[in-house]
Amino acid sequence: MSKKKLGVRNSDHYFTKRDFVPAKYLCKFSFDKMIELEVPGSIADFIQGRVPRRVGAKHYMTLA
């Protein structure tokens, strides 16, 4: 059995074909759970790799 690398485009097809949950839904779920567990939104955005929206969040990013 040859091992092939999955590219960005064929990884989506691979997971869809095998009825796996798409990664975007896992990201949304984890973000919602962090907010539910009272993690500040700016820190949850930082963990998710999102662009900071507020000035305070931008300053947190420079400290990290």
Q: Which burial class, exposed, middle or buried, applies to 45 when counting CB atoms under 10 A from its CB (0-12, 13-18, 19+)?
A: buried
Q: Secondary structure of the chain in the HEC alphabet? A: CCCCCCCHHHHHHHHHHCCCCCHHHHHHHHHHHHHHCCCCHHHHHHHHCCCCCCHHHHHHHHHC
How many residues are listed for the chain in this entry?
A: 64
pLDDT band per the 50, 70, 90 thresholds, residue 19: confident
**CB-based contact 12:19 (threshold 8 Å):** no
* Mean pLDDT on 15-41: 87
**Residue 37 predicted with pLDDT over 90:** yes
**Residue 30 predicted with pLDDT over 80:** yes
**Residue 1 predicted with pLDDT over 80:** no
Instruction: Please indicate, yes or no, whether the overall pTM of this predicted structure exceeds 0.85.
Output: no
pLDDT, greater one: 41 or 55: 41
